[in-house]
Amino acid sequence: RSFLNDFPIDKFSSELVKLLNKTDNENISNLTSLCICSLLQSHERSTSNLITFGVLEVFRKILNNIKWHETATNCVNALDIISNY
CA distance 33 to 79: 11
pLDDT in tens, the chain (85 residues): 466 667 888 999 999 999 999 999 999 999 999 999 999 998 888 999 999 999 999 999 999 999 999 999 999 999 999 999 8
How would DSSP label each residue in 14-81? HHHHHHHHH---HHHHHHHHHHHHHHHHH-TTHHHHHHHTTHHHHHHHHHHS---HHHHHHHHHHHHH
pLDDT at 40: 96
CA distance 7 to 15: 14
Confirm if 39 and 31 have CB atoms less than 8 A apart.
no
